[in-house]
Amino acid sequence: MTYEIESDLDAYVDAHISPEPEHLKRLTRESYLRLINGRMCSGHLQGRLLKMLTQLCAPRLVVELGTFSGYSALCIAEGLPEGSRLVTVEADDELEDFIRCQLDASEYGEKVELRIGLALEVCKEFADESVDMIFIDANKREYPDYLSEAVRMLRPGGLIVADNTLWSGHVCDPTYANDPQTIGVRAFNDMACTLDGFETIILPFRDGISLLRKKKLY
């Protein structure tokens, strides 16, 4: 019964927010047909949120850690001002052809620079306070390390967005106390709520999305 109620609510929400662009509908279908774990695709609701957050931030440079199918990257790119760019990092080189195909098929793909490699290594290439917005959605075991790098890279007034921060409820389930991925997400959340100079909130929809805003210094 719970699943049916949630499905009804999901359908209601999807019907009452801005429509999903056709190229993203096709991308979702391709992700489920051609990729393992197609459900990892960000999806309609999260995608529209990422676009809106990007528009509100009006960033010049965005860094995404974890590309997967390219859905979230294209949503962020859709919200970017002219002249801005997104650098997205994917560790799985077997996804490269799929991702590049999706970027090439979208009018927003030219705003996206795909990097194949380890997120923490690519982060080292960015100077302190040089990035306006960061989206974290990669290896959950490394979430605390991603956060440390994001805090360093982010300019005052910038925004960190992190996906899966409720991790299917495992963060508050003691039976997952020794699970490495759960440990990583818990450590991220513990760090996020105690960061000096940041405002932090967890949005409890989908699998949990955290927003961390770096306060401006006056």
Q: What number does CATH give the domain 2-214? A: 3.40.50.150
Least confident of 35-44, 74-83, 149-158, 194-203: 35-44
Give phi and psi for 182, each to the nearest 5.
-65, -40
In DSSP terms, 200 is beta-bridged to 212
Residue reference for tokens 């300019």? 155
- What's the pLDDT at 4? 45
- What's the pLDDT at 206? 86
CA-to-CA distance for 81 and 98, rounded, in angstroms?
26
- What's the pLDDT at 216? 81
List pLDDT tens digits, range 98-120: 999 999 999 999 999 999 999 99
- Percent of the chain, pLDDT > 90? 88
- What's the pLDDT at 3? 36
- Beta strands 131-136; 209-214: pairing state: unpaired
CA-to-CA distance for 146 and 136, rounded, in angstroms?
7
CA-to-CA distance for 7 and 5, rounded, in angstroms?
5
- What's the pLDDT at 183? 98
- Percent of the chain, pLDDT > 70? 96
Whether residue 218 has pLDDT greater than 70: no
Confidence grade of residue 10 (pLDDT, cut at 50, 70, 90): confident
pTM (whole model) above 0.85: yes
List pLDDT tens digits, range 122-166: 999 999 999 999 999 999 999 999 999 999 999 999 999 999 999
Whether residue 58 has pLDDT greater than 80: yes
Local structure of residue 218 (DSSP, 8 states): -
Sequence ranges of the domains in the chain: 2-214
Cα distances from 79 to residues 21, 48, 51, 62, 179, in angstroms, run 13, 9, 5, 11, 36
End-to-end CA distance of the chain: 52
Cα distances from 103 to residues 6, 38, 74, 137, 198, in angstroms, run 32, 17, 7, 18, 33
